[in-house]
Amino acid sequence: MSTSPMTTVGGRLEADRIVGETARRRTFAVISHPDAGKSTLTEALALHARVIGQAGAVHGKAGRRGTVSDWMDMERDRGISITSAALQFAYRDCVVNLLDTPGHADFSEDTYRVLTAVDAAVMLIDGAKGLEAQTMKLFAVCRHRGIPVVTVVNKWDRPGKAALELMDEVAERTGLTPTPLTWPVGLAGDFRGVLDRRDGSYRRFTRTAGGATVAPEEVLSPAAAAAREGEAWSVAHEEADLLAATAGEHDQELFLSGVTTPVLFASAVSNFGVGQLLDTLVDLAPAPTARPDEAGEPHPVDAPFSAFVFKVQAGMDTGHRDRLAYIRVCSGVFERGMVVTNARTGRPFATKYAQQVFGRDRETIETAYPGDVVGLVNAAALGVGDTLYADRPVTYPPVTTFAPEHFAVARVADTSRYKQFRKGVETLAGEGVVQVLTSERRGDGAPVFAVVGPMQFEVAAHRMEHEFGARIALEPLPYRLARVTDAASAGELSAASGAEVLQRPDGELLALFSDKWSLRVLAQNKPHLTLVPMVAAELG
C-alpha cells in the first residue's frame, strides 16, 4: 500500500498545500431539460477558456460538427447527450472540472451519479420554453443534495418569453429567489448585450461566423450604452431597477445555502454571455470542502487520499477495449502509480494508468487534488459507488440505484458470437448502462435488461452490435415495477401470478410485477414477504 503524502512530505506544510490546491478547484455539472443547449454551452465554456480553438456547434443542432463532450456515435447522429462527459481545464488561477450530463429523462440515473461528484450546478433554461419537466426534477435533486445552482437563461438570441416573466417562473416553481447578475439588453430574439447589475456597465456582444469563435465584447458606460442602444437600454435599465426593489442583490451565503440562484442571460451557440458565466463560476461557485463519509462524518480535504467512483465507461477508445472509471478526489493528493485500497473489496488497486479526461481525449495525469476528476484505465475491478483510499480507511455513501420500469430479455442474434455477447453484457452492467438481471430458469443466455427509460435499450443494443460485435434481439417483458426482496420471500414471489424474481450481479434480489394492483394484492395477502421500494427515477 502506498505511503500517504501527509507522512512523507510531512506535517503542516503539506496540509497547507493540499488546502491551497483544493481552494483553486471548481467542480460543477451542466444540467437541464433536453435540447436546452447543455453540450453547446459546455463547448462554449471550453472555447472561452482557450482550451479549444473552435466550437463544434457551428449552426445549432442541424449543422453541428459534433461537440467535444458528445463523442458517442449515437450522440452525434441524434444531436443529444446520451452519456455524461468530463472536461478539465485551467482558467484564470483555477482548475475547472466541468461535467456535461444527459438531459433526457431516460438517462436520469447517469445525471444523478454526476451530481454526487460536483460542488455546484449550472441549470440551463431555454428562454422560449422556461422551466420544463426535467428541469424541475433536477432543481429538486440539487436542493436535496444541497448543491448551489447558477441559472443560465439560454437562447436569448431567439424569440421567447419576457425576462421578468422567466424570473417570476423560477421563483414560483422552484422556491429559489433569482438574483440576476446580468440583464439582457434587447428582447428575446434581439440579443445585443447585457447590463451588468454589479457595476451598471453595458457589455455589448458582436456576432462571429456561426458562433464558432469567441464573440468579441465591448464594455460601455451607462451613458455610452444609452446613446448607442436608445430605448432597448432604457427598458433594460428600468427592469434592472425593478429587480433591485424585488429580487435584491447577490448574497453569497444565501446562494451557498440554496436560498437564491444567481441568473445570467446568454446565447451559447453565439458565445454571448459565456465569458460572464465562466467568471461567475470561478468567483462564486464553492471550492471542494470536507465530504461526509458513510457515517455522516465530514472527511477533511487534507486527510490522506480518498476518492469515489461515480461513473464507469467503456468503448471510449476504439483501438483498445479498455474500461475507464471516473473518480472524484475527495481528500489528499492523488499520485499516479500509487496503490490504493477498494473499500468494498478490501483489495489493492494500482493506479499506473491515470488520465485527465477532455471529452473522449485523454492525457496522462501525475497528480490531482480534491475536486478533480481522474480517469483510471483498465478498471475492471472498480464499480460505480466504490470508495478508494490510501492509509486511512474511509467509505463514502453508496450511489443510488434507480428503480427500473422497463424490462426486456436480451438474446444474441448469432450464437457463434456468444463469447462477445457475454463480454458486452458484463461491460454494460458494470457501467450501469442497464441493470442486468438473471435467474436459473432463464439461464445465462437470456439475461433481462432492466432500465429507467426505453432509450437505454437502444443504447445497449447499439453498443452491443458496434462495440462488441454481438447483435442482440430484445424481447419486451410485461413488468413495470421492481421491489427489493430476499431469499426467504423469493419462492412465494416466484409462484405468484404476474411476478418474477431475478438477481443482480451484486447478489441483490428484485421482484418484478406487471402492475401496481398485483403488487398491492400480494402485499396485503402476504404481509410477511419482503418488498422494499427502490428510489424512483422521478425523485432523482
Is residue 41 classed as helix, strand or coil in its secondary structure? helix
Three cell numbers written together for 482? 421492481
Is residue 355 classed as helix, strand or coil in its secondary structure? strand
Q: Which of 315, 343, 353 is nearest to 459 (CA)?
A: 315
Predicted TM-score (pTM) of the model is 0.82
Work out whether the CA dihedral 313, 319, 321, 326 comes out positive or negative: negative
Q: Measure the CA–CA gap between 380 and 154, rounded to whole angstroms.
A: 39
Structure confidence by residue, pLDDT tens digits, 364-408:
899 999 999 999 988 888 988 999 999 999 999 988 778 899 999
Q: Measure the CA–CA gap between 82 and 76, rounded to whole angstroms.
A: 10
For residue 2, what are the CA distances in angstroms to 17, 334, 449, 470, 500? 19, 11, 39, 41, 46
pLDDT for position 57: 36
Pick the CATH number of 25-284 from 3.40.50.300, 1.10.4000.10, 3.20.20.370, 3.50.50.60: 3.40.50.300
Domain spanning 291-389: CATH 2.40.30.10: yes
Which contiguous run of DSSP H or E holds residue 81? none
Residue 170 CB partners (closer than 8 Å, separation 6+): 125, 131, 151, 176, 178, 261, 263
Tell me: is residue 168 an annotated ligand-binding position. Answer: no
**Within 10 Å of residue 238's Cβ, how many Cβ atoms?**
10
Q: What is the mean pLDDT of residues 329-358?
A: 93
313 has pLDDT over 70: yes
Domain spanning 406-539: CATH 3.20.20.120: no
Tell me: is residue 320 an annotated ligand-binding position. Answer: no
Tell me: is residue 250 an annotated ligand-binding position. Answer: no
Q: Measure the CA–CA gap between 427 and 464, rounded to whole angstroms.
A: 10
Please say whether the beta carbons of 510 and 500 come within 8 A: no
Tell me: is residue 293 an annotated ligand-binding position. Answer: no
Structure confidence by residue, pLDDT tens digits, 270-297:
989 999 999 999 999 999 999 999 999 9
Is residue 457 classed as helix, strand or coil in its secondary structure? helix
Q: Measure the CA–CA gap between 247 and 44, rounded to whole angstroms.
A: 29
Per-range mean pLDDT, top range of 84-88, 187-191, 535-539: 187-191
**Helices 274-284 and 38-48, packing angle to 10 deg:** 80
pLDDT for position 179: 95
CA 400, 402, 403, 406: dihedral to nearest 10 degrees? Answer: -150
Structure confidence by residue, pLDDT tens digits, 117-160:
999 999 999 999 999 887 888 788 888 889 999 999 999 999 99
Please say whether the beta carbons of 436 and 425 come within 8 A: yes
Domain ranges of the chain: 25-284, 291-389, 406-539
Query: Which residue has cell 442497464?
Result: 434
**Within 10 Å of residue 170's Cβ, how many Cβ atoms?**
24
Is residue 520 classed as helix, strand or coil in its secondary structure? helix
Tell me: is residue 103 an annotated ligand-binding position. Answer: yes
